[in-house]
Chain A
Amino acid sequence: MDSYEIVVIGGGPAGMAAAVAAREAGVKKILLIERDRELGGILQQCIHNGFGLHHFKEDLTGPEFSERYIRRMEELDIPCRLDTTVLQITANREILYINAEEGVKTVTADAIVLAMGCRERSRGAVNIPGSRPAGVFTAGTAQRLINIEGYMVGKRIMMLGTGDIGLIMARRFTLEGAKVIAVLARKPYPGGLMRNVVQCLYDYDIPLMLRHTIVKILGKGRVTGVLVADTDENSRPIPGSEELYECDTVILSVGLIPENELSLSAGVKLDPHTGGPIVDESRQTSIPGIYACGNVVHVHDLVDFVVEESEIAGRGAAGFVLGCRKAGSGATGSITSGSGEPRPAPVQVLPGEGLKYVVPQRMRGNNGEDRLDLFLRVNRVYGRSYIEVKHGQDTLKRVKRLRLNPGEMERLRLNKGAMEKIDGSDLIVKAVEEDG
């Protein structure tokens, strides 16, 4: 059986950044497995700009961003298997994959980095009644068809949901000559970044209809229209408010879900708030030697933060592997930490009042860095407010914000001084709106 020091699953920005960071930390035998025909992941179809402003200090498009990492992968001679799908992984780090050349094959790894990303919620996930005609796509599928495969999806388009990909695609449809009738949001505020609402909808006079949803899709062979209803304060359709809109295409941009079937096959514990693995600050999951990063952990807004997180995971996995090497164990099957010592109980980082989630969810003091970045989302729109990290009675950190929006991920940095105060008790992070 072939064995590797690190196997990375997924060749998008997260997987590539983790593999590159692990190689730079001194790991020799790495394999990256990607199911698509090329590296780059979803960035290859995200042809718009806005990537890399933090990481490269440049405004890059998705393909430009990913090509930089592909070149880095080549420079570092990191082997990849393309057109290869991982079917299963196990807690003792066996990876079962399949491709056309090798058939079904099992390899082992001292450490695994999970970087499978996320997938889109589909029509089935949002339960839209009606017939099942052609012409209903998720925004990402439409994006791939138009930008990569070269097929236009329709002429008169109704969009449900205001995720960033949907907003970007509304502009793209318009540039390619289609008419976007409207973009509907069930909630009273859009889900995507304000920047995208302004530059993709307002720039092209595309109506944004807040508090509306599709209650029925009409059409036999092809979509012919949709029934749109107003929604109440619980985002439910109001009976009697339905209106008919004629269209030939329905685009869904109704959210992303971390793709964790493989994580579950190994028994990795998931966080119900993020839908991704529970990780510590080195992005190690509940299973020693299995790390995770990028959208498989939680859905990010910016690829810059994905690669930042993935570098942490890559270094974490490298530390684990090099620890194994030092301890002289072949490591496969060992369930101790890299250094061979039992793992101390971690401190929990919990989402308190006002928060949807916080990542990482555990702290072990094992990332070898003297600061800790917490990534979080709030559960609703807040005006003038503050976010704070409580440790018992102590406030380790407090930052003020003019506005908080669930669509925009927030980052809080704990510095060395704050980190040193942390003993065995849990950290609670909360968002509080200030009066007036």
Chain B
Amino acid sequence: MSGIDKEIICIVCPTGCRIRVSGTDREQLTVRGNECKRGEEYALKEITDPRRTLITTVRIDHAGLRRLPVRTNREIPKRSIFPCMEVINRVRVEAPVEIGQIIIPDILGTGADVVATRSMGRGTPADARCRSARTRDIASTS
């Protein structure tokens, strides 16, 4: 195994410490340059198991809008981002959709579900107001 020697910028707080993580063994890494304990945790996690929340859109049919925003409901390994995008890009969903609805369960075995991040009712693109119809009704009856 080759050694690790990487510099990362900490994003835990606005200070933005430059943290150097080095060592020959994954279990015994040296962390330098961090001003606080949270920086050390962040740096070690970034080196050993970097994860991200993946956020994108999927195609939606028969809604007022053409794209439905979605997210993974937990972080996935960073290296899974593009493979997951390929899966997500093949999906088409049908309106209506409720916020939090699972669009793709356990994507690529990551343990994360891809879920809708907004509600979207049925409607035609010409009448994109479906989501707000209720609010609008209130307006016209007041």
Contact = CB atoms under 8 A, between A and B. Distances in A.
A61 B132 contact: no
Contacts of B142: 31, 79
Interface stretch (B10-18, B21-29, B104-112): B10-18
Contacts, number: 107
B78 interface: yes
A408 B11 CA distance: 13
Contact of B9 (A31, A44, A147, A194): A194
Interface in A174-224: 175-176, 193-195, 197-199, 202-203
Nearest to B134: A74
Given A150-B59, A199-B52, A203-B78, A82 B135 contact: yes
Contact of B71 (A49, A147, A148): A49
A176 B88 CA distance: 11
Contacts of B66: 148-150
Given A74-B138, A150-B67, A202-B9, A44 B118 contact: yes
Interface string A43-58: 0100111000000000
A17 to B, nearest CB: 15
Given A198-B9, A402-B35, A61 B139 contact: no
The B interface, classified by DSSP as helix, strand, loop or mixed, is mixed
Contact of B11 (A59, A64, A194): A194
B96 interface: no
Contact of A67 (B9, B99, B138): B99
A61 B131 contact: no
A37 B128 contact: yes
B11 A80 contact: no
B56 A47 contact: yes
Interface residues of A, number: 44
B45 interface: no
A70 B118 CA distance: 11
Contacts of B57: 47, 146-147, 150
A405 interface: yes
A38 interface: yes
A79 B139 CA distance: 4
Interface string A143-155: 0001111100000
Contacts of B65: 148-150
B52 A203 contact: yes
B53 interface: yes
A331 B59 CA distance: 50
Nearest to A46: B69
A52 B48 CA distance: 28
A327 to B, nearest CB: 26
A31 B135 CA distance: 11
Nearest to A73: B135
A147 B132 contact: no
Interface string A63-83: 110110010011001111111
Nearest to A405: B14
A344 B11 CA distance: 45
A38 B85 CA distance: 28
B93 interface: no
Contacts of B9: 194, 197-198, 202
Contacts of B55: 47-49, 61
B117 A47 contact: yes
B103 to A, nearest CB: 13
Contact of A47 (B59, B69, B135): B69
B139 A63 contact: no
A44 B69 CA distance: 9
A408 B81 CA distance: 29
B129 interface: yes
B30 interface: no
A64 B118 CA distance: 6
Nearest to A47: B69
Contact of B117 (A61, A82, A150, A203): A61
Interface of B: 8-9, 11, 14-16, 35, 52-53, 55-57, 59, 64-67, 69, 71, 78, 81-82, 85, 99, 117-119, 128-129, 131-132, 134-136, 138-139, 142
Given A59-B53, A82-B135, 13 more contacts: A31-B142, A37-B132, A49-B55, A67-B118, A67-B119, A73-B135, A80-B132, A80-B138, A148-B65, A148-B66, A150-B65, A194-B9, A198-B9
9 contacts: A37-B129, A48-B55, A74-B138, A77-B138, A83-B129, A146-B57, A150-B59, A150-B67, A175-B81
